[in-house]
Amino acid sequence: MEWTAKAIDLLRALWAEGHSTAEIGRRMGVTKNAIVGKAHRLDLPARPSPIRKQEAGGSSAAPRRRPSVREAALPARRIVPQPQPAAAPPPAAAGPVAAAVRPFPRASMRSCCWPIGEPGARDFRFCAAEADPGKPYCASHVAVAYVRVRDRRSDAA
């Protein structure tokens, strides 16, 4: 928006009247954030926060219930700790554990890289069919991976 002298005068007047930034924006045909930014650049006086803070001494919680005479006269329960079983010693280390990461088994630069299965599972593998030129996947996986925008819009209903 072009901030003309007339628009700035209107902003100052509405600001002085105490209108909210959203209301000023509606009247001037701009966003609330445009009003906030221009007011800041014009160094207009800050507004009090519309968020009401709780009084320092006040409490919104219900007042505490005083125990009845009978409850106060009852002796406090004695809590006896339950015996804990002895901790078992940690198992001895059997030796180094083989890493779950396996090298990328790509037959050639022309093979499909579509993952099949869960990574980390024993049966995890890649498609390895011949990839389409310039693509990392074979024709059937290219159809899944690359969806045209209009095709996506027709499904989203």
| Domain enclosing residue 150, as ranges | 115-155
On the question of pLDDT at 100 being above 70, the answer is no
Res. 96: pLDDT tops 70: no
Q: Is residue 33 part of a domain?
A: yes
Predicted TM-score (pTM) of the model is 0.34
Q: Which pLDDT tens digit goes with each residue over 24-63? A: 999 999 999 999 999 999 999 887 776 777 765 555 666 7
User: Whole-angstrom Cα distance, residue 128 to residue 68?
Assistant: 78
Give the total number of structural domains in the chain.
2
Residue 129's contacts (CB-CB under 8 Å, 6 or more residues apart) are 111, 112, 138, 140
